[in-house]
A and B are shown apart, each in its own frame.
Chain A
């Protein structure tokens, strides 16, 4: 024990290496050094109250991160050397990775930029250090994800130009605009949006059950980067909760501001995660847990415990959580049938679920699947078998705020599309929901400039008027390789060859 006593304890070490490294400026005013700290209306009385429960210091950070990286890259190497892509459950699974690489990995990079920026804007040293570490984490996530998937890029289509696609492709404007919205807000809203609403309340849905699903489908590379990233995430989530408690404890005037941000960012995150709902239910051939089950555990149960804890500050659960809870029975099915009909313009393939998958969905979605969604697939399968694989050749209306096509249905009325419209300064705007409409009405100046992909095509800003030109030239999606139906695609044929089965013909009978 004598050796141990020579070591600083965690609390002292954190104090010396974090707070005590900061200083009081003498020849510049604090408000000139940190000019962005007040305009949002958040009142901070005493920064010394900021708690970092992990008490992580830079020396320990490097040590543990280095260890994580070593473990991670050992697995990447083994995966590549052993042609791990041949051992996945089915090549349909790789389509989830295409969506991940073009939709999620660029967000990690956006998060890196976001934390690097706000890490400069707080006058409290504890908050600056926490943001600095998180910025480095996010950069690591972006890099490791690209490294993990570079192996798949050698063997499958659709993974070749993810950052380019992220900036241009219609459905990728959903994640892109989400993060742009957060990064253009003030520093406290950014932390409430990303650290709290997204990291703490919602990202478990992506990184825990989906990554467990990746393992269950034989993808050791992805589950490893997923869980390695998520091990940083535990720290980020803790930061998210501490941020909220800190702001709320500082001044009672902060409560209504934070409540509105929670309402907004819960909803924006929920809309973004609708993409994950279909990844879980449709793009994992071996199923671990349904979207509805994941929502129940990670939002209704864990989120419920969280918001009960926050009650004492006068915070209530997000305003539209009832709509989100009701949507769990429908979300993945509505999303998948949307992507199915617009597969001509995606960098991944879609397909009709196989019979045992549909039976699994009947079991997991007893209230909705057989009544509303199984008939859709039966019809689409019949059409495909007759040589009329369905594609929707007309572009969809998009929501001005979340940018998802206005495909969602009203709560309790799953055959009625939810739609709202307002006129603002003489212009009409359309929304997928009351919640998105409210977000617009609160800050219309922000959303009137939304770069809506459908409207941009019609304005002639995407290198062509027809879908084919836009897809090939503007999106860099290779027609006939990356897009369209999975059955009969080059990926499908390649997979059949790997598995030593006779090459797939172009028959699109899904059964």
Chain B
């Protein structure tokens, strides 16, 4: 059985960078656009890297900033200074 993790962002300016960074770091992920929201799902694992986001934004970015734009998640969370990981092990 397939075991998907997912993350949902508000469809706003900030989250568009987030979505772009996620898709770059997780090329196998699937992105879905629904009214006012962006949903990304992937088999077993999704990662958001601080480095990729800082590149996209052109400024320092704290991983916890994502709390402002995220609507929902599915999967075990592992967060530190450099990344945010969703995972079914």
Contacts and interface: CB of A to CB of B under 8 A. Distances in A.
Q: Do A and B come from one complex?
A: yes
Nearest to A204: B72
A10 B81 contact: yes
A235 B37 contact: no
A227 B71 contact: yes
Interface string A305-317: 1101100000000
B64 to A, nearest CB: 6
Contacts of B77: 53-54, 238, 241
Contact of A234 (B4, B34, B71, B88): B71
Kindly name the residue among B1, B76, B77 whose own CB sees the greatest number of chain A CB atoms within 10 A: B77
A234 B34 CA distance: 18
Interface stretch (A207-215, A383-391, A484-492, A494-502): A207-215
Nearest to A302: B74
Contacts of B69: 231
A56 interface: yes
Interface in B65-85: 65, 67-81
Contacts of A56: 64, 67
Contacts of A147: none
B1 A234 contact: no
B79 to A, nearest CB: 6
Interface in A203-231: 204, 207-209, 211-213, 215-216, 223, 227, 230-231
B67 A64 contact: yes
Contacts of A53: 76-79
A9 interface: yes
Interface in B1-29: 1-6, 8, 10
B64 A212 contact: no
A231 B10 CA distance: 9
B23 to A, nearest CB: 19
B59 interface: no
A413 to B, nearest CB: 28
B73 A237 contact: yes
B72 A308 contact: no
Nearest to A200: B74
Interface SS of chain A: helix
Contacts of B2: 301, 305
B34 A231 contact: no
A24 interface: no
A60 B63 CA distance: 12
B36 A212 contact: yes
Nearest to B64: A60
Nearest to A67: B68
A38 interface: no
B1 A235 contact: no
A155 interface: no
Contacts of B89: 309
Contacts of A233: 71-72
B44 to A, nearest CB: 9
B73 A234 contact: yes
Contacts of A84: none
B58 interface: no
Kindly name the residue among A9, A207, A234 whose own CB sees the greatest number of chain B CB atoms within 10 A: A234
A234 B67 contact: yes
A64 B64 contact: yes
Contacts of B10: 227, 231
Contacts of B65: 64
A54 B79 contact: yes
14 contacts: A9-B80, A55-B79, A60-B64, A71-B68, A204-B72, A207-B72, A208-B37, A215-B35, A215-B37, A223-B36, A227-B10, A234-B70, A238-B73, A238-B77
Interface of B: 1-6, 8, 10, 34-37, 63-65, 67-81, 88-89
Given A53-B77, A208-B8, A241-B76, 7 more contacts: A60-B64, A207-B72, A208-B72, A213-B35, A223-B36, A231-B70, A234-B70
